Chain A
Amino acid sequence: MSQPDPVPVIAAPHAADAPVAHQFDDAAQQRNAATLGMWIFLATEILFFGGMFLAYTVYRYRFPEDFRHASAHTLIWVGTINTAILLLSSFTMVLAVRASELRNRVAAVRLLCATAGLGALFLLIKAFEYRHEIAEGLLPGSLFHFGPADGPAARLFFYIYFLMTGVHALHVAIGVVLLGGFALRAHRTRNLAGMATSIDLLGLYWHFVDVVWVFLFPLIYLIGRHA
């Protein structure tokens, strides 16, 4: 396998100082393999979330008016601010990946912390939103109560709402924990080069969670807004 690799690799010039495991020809191949593994994981995540998007699609098709009324109960400004926070966190994340590739350790640590902070802020706001919704009687269960204007499928909307945003929030929480751990590791390590691929992959995960929210936001918050 001495043929030159025709595949373009974005960080190949810097990957040279990462340790190479014995099963790989070189650092670039090792990095490509790791990146491919992450993309395969994300492809399974598309289908994992996809099942819930399918449930949403089927029931919204069956009960369009109930879904519209139920959606109007969600807090649109909270959802919009949280979307902006996640988009900004993707910005700090991509800058953290860039900083780690430029071997700028101080910037990488700060940007990882900033991303974790924005993720934690998202979760905090989401928690207040849940508390408000539970107090309003929107959590499916014995305390669930709705006005006469809301149809029977409003409960289904909120079941799907809590399921999808809950699973998404779990992904954000996992991301925040990983970001915090990575920031600590990057702060302590003498060899940031050895972490560059890991930070890149964490970035892929974080942006994917952002993409999921980009689709959740309009489907949950925006369908019942016009008269």
Chain B
Amino acid sequence: MNPDPAPHSPTVRDYARITLALLTLLVLTVAVAYMNLGVWSTAAAMLIAVIKAVLIILFFMHLKAAAPLNRVVLIAGFFWLAIMLTLAMSDFLSRG
């Protein structure tokens, strides 16, 4: 039994493109780190990291094609992380 791939399933070329994009973003984030962007340096690095993470999650972890419930679980994980970071930092940022 040797079934054909589902019509919407990504090809090796699709995956290679995503990998190339990830490696390009890696070079970009290292290059940006050597520029003096002041306070924006960390923001730029985190923005690139988020883009890389989204690419991996959507295409390598197939969340784009996954059941909606799986998406809810992942969003819940990040939402709880956001609660932890926001509440803790709202304390530290507001101390005298």
Contact = CB atoms under 8 A, between A and B. Distances in A.
Interface of A: 7-14, 17, 32, 35-36, 39-40, 42-44, 46-47, 50-51, 53-54, 57-58, 61-62, 76, 80, 83-84, 87-88, 90-91, 93-95, 98, 101-103, 193, 203-204, 207-208, 210-211, 214-215, 217-219, 221-223, 225-227
A214 B52 contact: yes
B3 A61 contact: no
A58 B74 CA distance: 24
A218 B46 contact: yes
A225 B33 CA distance: 6
Highest count of chain A CB atoms <10 Å: which of B10, B16, B30, B76: B30
A58 B88 contact: yes
Contact of A211 (B3, B57, B73): B57
Contacts of B33: 218, 221-223, 225-226
Given A46-B81, A222-B29, 14 more contacts: A7-B69, A10-B9, A36-B73, A47-B84, A53-B81, A54-B88, A58-B88, A90-B56, A101-B9, A203-B60, A203-B61, A210-B60, A218-B29, A218-B46
B24 to A, nearest CB: 10
Interface of B: 1-3, 5-6, 8-10, 12, 15-16, 18-19, 22-23, 26, 29-30, 33-37, 41-42, 45-46, 48-49, 52-53, 56-57, 59-62, 65-70, 73-74, 76-78, 80-81, 84-85, 88-89, 92-93
Given A13-B3, A98-B9, A91 B19 contact: yes
Contacts of A210: 56, 60
A39 B74 contact: yes
A62 B92 contact: yes
B30 A10 contact: no
B89 A13 contact: no
18 contacts: A12-B6, A35-B70, A36-B70, A39-B73, A40-B73, A47-B77, A50-B81, A53-B81, A54-B85, A84-B23, A90-B56, A90-B60, A91-B60, A98-B9, A101-B5, A103-B2, A218-B46, A223-B45
Highest count of chain B CB atoms <10 Å: which of A51, A91, A102, A218: A218
Contact of B15 (A36, A95, A193, A214): A95
A169 B52 CA distance: 20
B3 A14 contact: yes
A207 B19 contact: no
B73 A43 contact: yes
Nearest to B19: A91
A210 B78 CA distance: 16
B13 to A, nearest CB: 11
A218 B59 CA distance: 22
Highest count of chain B CB atoms <10 Å: which of A51, A93, A208: A208
Contacts of B6: 10-14
